[in-house]
Structure 1
Amino acid sequence: MTDASANNVTRLLQSRSFVELGARERARALLDAGSFRELLDPFDRVTSPWLPKQGIVTQADDGVVVAKGTIDGQPAVIAAIEGAFQGGSMGEVGGAKIAGALELAAGDNRNGIPTRAVLLLETGGVRLQEANLGLAAIAEIQAAIVELREHQPVIGVVAGSVGCFGGMGIAAGLCSYLVATREARIGLNGPQVIEQEAGIEEYDSRDRPFIWSLTGGEQRHASGLVDSYVADDSDAIRAELHKLFAQGKPAQPRSRRHAWFLQRLTDADTREQLDAAGVRALYQGDAQ
């Protein structure tokens, strides 16, 4: 075995998968050691009042973990969505926890406490069982992101395996910076929804290489919709957060470059289905 191969094996053995961690462990892994403090933890028993009415077992944190601590010694809040509970869907309680945390962070900044925020997005979007309540919660999250990013960077991380879709896909686009792994997927409508509406000939949700080639983290990064493409490794993701926070706020948030992106869509020829290479060619360029 060559020295390079041996080093690669060593790095692999020493790495710790971020995707395999639960929401609580993900938040703990990204905060400075010993600084993790959970807000409204499971022992507070803040659960969805709507799921039991539909025969669905609740989870004590409603699938959202909110933790305060520090990153590089600076005050930070992390909201982590548990994709294993109801597909990471956003309901009234979980959504309120995220929106409230971001609003409190914005208040901290107005009072001279430079609190930054990280959103760990593992979600299919609105929780269908809570319908309009979930939509309202997502709208509050989006408004809170826009408010906070005027003070401090708001960084979204999409690691996998649920991905980030629906209204929370819009929330991801509002973040100051967006980080993704190869395992991640980011979009508005999920593959099953597109297949249901447009037909399997248009979008086969079981064709995993095809799905990832269009909505996977690598493709989204190559298309300029994601700022950082990192390995599925807790240390690598933490290091990327440190780098992005050190950069400070971007000169112009991606959402304010909407005219450039809309022009790309206008230029797309929809008479034939674009492949991954075609999408990259469409989006690559110097965004204004």
Structure 2
Amino acid sequence: MTTVATAHPAPILRDSFIELPARERARSLLDAGTFRELLGPFDKIESPWLPLQGVVCQADDGCVIARGTIDGEPAVVAAIESAFQGGSIGEVSGSKIAAALEMALRDCERGKIVRPVVLFETGGVRLQEANLGLAVIAEIQAAIVALRRHVPVVGVIAGMVGCFGGMSLAAALCSYLVVTKQGRLGMNGPEVIEQEAGIEELDASDRRRVWQLIGGEQRAATALADRLVDDDADAVSAAVRAAFAQGVPAAHRSEQVDTFLDRLARIDPASVTPETMREVYHPHVQNDARKEQA
């Protein structure tokens, strides 16, 4: 009896983007060998406020700023480290992002285009230094709006922390948003919604429901994100490069006020489900799906 060996396809090996720390995330997006960190750990630019409240500082305050190139063009990447204080934005970390974007803006105004990328992994403002954090988030938002007149500003929301609070508004101002299924985007986090509106409004422990409502796949399906990619460093890098190749969009999301007001008007607050939200944003897609099922 002859045994015939069955060939099995080789498994596809991927390097998780989510599992990378902020510094390596930034490195993975830049051309090989071009990574150069600004205000890194050895510069010891730490929060002066956290020790006063018994919190141990991190030497880079949970934010990595890297210069280099993307497809040979000058670029700057601001990566938030979720492992430190949940990626919260304080005076120092926020100032680093705002200053990096403002430096890129000055270069762009002088005719030297710099490609800006922000890796969002944050619950929003750091409560221990709330007013200072809120002020610097406003500076980040202003820098994004000014920059996007010259060059696309690309945001990435990949990890399990997601992007909430004032930084969700900063993400919404980006020219393009790249998301994974694991990422989440919302003004308020599930726990805050449950606390303020009650568990009847949203059960924060229902992870499946939470991701159905505000997860990356849903945000892409409702036009609040532009590219949905797998948790793969190469896939995220390719999506970022493709976004820059598209150039500055004719109209950013924040400029499409009438379009979004029309969509809001078609939402029934008594029946907000992942399906009804997709129908509001892409009614023809839902109708086509119903026809196929029939």
Q: Deviations over 1:183-204 (max 9, x none)?
A: 0000000000000000011100
Residue matched to 2:151 = 152
Residue matched to 1:211 = 210
* Cα distance in 2, alignment partners of residues 260 and 197 from structure 1: 29
Shift of 1:285: 5.5
* Cα distance in 1, alignment partners of residues 175 and 169 from structure 2: 12
Residue matched to 1:167 = 166
Amino acid at match of 2:165: G
* Cα distance in 2, alignment partners of residues 282 and 61 from structure 1: 42
Residue matched to 2:282 = 284
* Cα distance in 1, alignment partners of residues 283 and 40 from structure 2: 45
Residue matched to 2:137 = 138
Residue matched to 1:92 = 91
Alignment partner of 2:168: what SS? helix
Is residue 247 of structure 2 the alignment partner of residue 244 of structure 1? Answer: no
**What is the TM-score when the length of structure 2 is the normalising length?**
0.93
Q: Percent identity?
A: 61
Q: Deviations over 1:76-126 (max 9, x none)?
A: 000000011111000000000000000000101111211010000000001
Answer with 1 or 2: which has the greater Rg: 2
Amino acid at match of 1:69: G
* Cα distance in 2, alignment partners of residues 184 and 37 from structure 1: 27
Residue matched to 2:40 = 41
Aligned pairs (5 A) from 1:170-209: 170-209=169-208
Q: Compared with structure 1, are the counterparts of its residues 285 and 248 closer, same or farther at alpha carbon in structure 2 (3 Å cutoff)?
A: farther
Residue matched to 2:287 = none
State which of 256, 273, 276 in structure 2 corresponds to 1:275. Answer: 273
Shift of 1:25: 0.5
Shift of 1:273: 3.8
Count of aligned pairs: 280
Residue matched to 2:290 = none
Aligned pairs (5 A) from 1:225-240: 225-240=224-239
Shift of 1:68: 0.2
Residue matched to 1:112 = 111
* Cα distance in 2, alignment partners of residues 216 and 2 from structure 1: 39
Shift of 1:217: 0.3
* Cα distance in 2, alignment partners of residues 217 and 54 from structure 1: 35
Q: Which moved more, 1:236-245 or 1:209-218?
A: 236-245
* Cα distance in 1, alignment partners of residues 262 and 197 from structure 2: 24
Residue matched to 1:61 = 60
Unaligned runs of 5+ in 2: 285-294
Residue matched to 1:16 = 15
* Cα distance in 1, alignment partners of residues 256 and 9 from structure 2: 44
Superposed structure 1 runs of 4+ greater than 3 Å apart:
none
Unaligned runs of 5+ in 1: none
Alignment partner of 1:130: what SS? helix
The two structures, once aligned, show a CA RMSD in angstroms of: 1.4
